């Protein structure tokens, strides 16, 4: 490889020095490398068996059912609270 010499910024003296001669180096070619083998994938592929697919579908269904039941029960609780508050307000207005 060519390695250039970096100047050191000397004080100007008026004396001019000839530039350094850089001798070229010879390039040695190595024999051709054997054919490259296809690289392995960066991450392994996931192979799903029929049993794993059934388990995933069953697990997903269970999650959907549980989340749905929780949301419906929360909606029911809010509706009951609204009815109780409405009846309390109506009963208080009738007493006056």
pLDDT of 34 reads 63
pLDDT tens digits along 27-69: 777 776 666 666 666 777 778 899 999 999 999 999 999 999 9
Cα–Cα distance between 26 and 11 in angstroms, integer?
36
Please tell me the predicted confidence (pLDDT) of residue 44. Answer: 74
Mean pLDDT of 18-35: 72
Given a contact cutoff of 8 angstroms between Cβ atoms, the answer to whether 20 and 8 are in contact is no
pLDDT band at 83 (very low <50, low <70, confident <90, very high): very high
Structure tokens at 11: 């004080």
pLDDT at 26 over 70: yes
Q: Does the pLDDT at position 72 exceed 70?
A: yes
Cα–Cα distances in Å, from 11 out to 48, 49, 73? 75, 79, 88
Per-residue model confidence (pLDDT) at position 51? 93
Structural contact between residues 28 and 51, judged by C-beta atoms closer than 8 angstroms: no
Supply angle C-alpha 6, 12, 14, rounded to 5: 115
């Amino acid at each position: 490889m060519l390695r250039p010499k970096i100047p050191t910024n000397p004080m100007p003296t008026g004396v001019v020095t000839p530039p350094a001669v850089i001798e070229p180096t010879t390039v040695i070619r190595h024999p051709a490398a054997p054919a490259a083998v296809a690289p392995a994938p960066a991450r392994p592929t996931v192979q799903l068996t029929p049993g794993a697919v059934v388990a995933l579908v069953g697990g997903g269904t269970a999650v959907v059912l549980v989340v749905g039941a929780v949301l419906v029960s929360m909606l029911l609780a809010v509706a009951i609270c609204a009815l109780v508050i409405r009846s309390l307000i109506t009963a208080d207005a009738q007493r006056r």
